[in-house]
Amino acid sequence: MSEKRHEIQPYDYIEYFMSEAALLVTIDKNNKPNVMALLYKMIGEMWGLPIITVGVAPSRYSFELLTKNIDEFTVNIPSNKIIRAIEIAGDYSGRDVDKFNKAGLDIIPGKRIKIPTIKDCILSYECKVRHIDKSGDLSIHNLFFGEILAAYASNDIIKK
């Protein structure tokens, strides 16, 4: 674990959870990570479990990785230091571009799942998919309900 962050309980510091668009990380068959910009996200309790729900459209490479490779993901709320990564993660597809390289992002290996989190984030979560649903008439996004197996906060917000 990076020395600049600490493991926290799933709902600690959730006032920071909605503050920015997030970075959703998945991996391919060769364990190469992909990152996408993510606005559709919720945190809360379902089925007695701490859950993060992410809305991902079927056209995204991230959707393919989530449904055809490993049913795990990480959600990362970037600090200002890496905020530009949102643009790159949202403008390009991992089918064409190594976005970690392009955005200069560093990974931290997953502790409880295979998916890494991202360095220099104020909050990061390791999640295991427990349920998938559709959005009905509202949108094409599928909803992936991920149990939070680990959560981390940067020292920058812990100190405040």
Ligand X SMILES: Cc1cc2nc3c(=O)[nH]c(=O)nc-3n(C[C@H](O)[C@H](O)[C@H](O)COP(=O)(O)O)c2cc1C
Q: Does 92 bind ligand X (CB under 6 A)?
A: yes
Structure tokens at 144: 């992936």
Q: Does 141 bind ligand X (CB under 6 A)?
A: yes
Q: Does 33 bind ligand X (CB under 6 A)?
A: no
Contact 119, 105 (CB under 8 A): yes
Q: Does 157 bind ligand X (CB under 6 A)?
A: no
- Fill in the per-residue mask, 53 to 72: x = in contact with ligand X (CB under 6 A), - = not in contact: --xxx--xxx----------
42, 49, 90, 132: which one binds ligand X (CB under 6 A): 90
Q: Which residues contact 154 (CB under 8 A, 6 or more apart)?
A: 4, 5, 79, 120, 121, 122, 123
Q: Which residues bind ligand X (CB under 6 A)?
A: 21, 34, 36-40, 55-57, 60-62, 86, 89-90, 92-95, 141
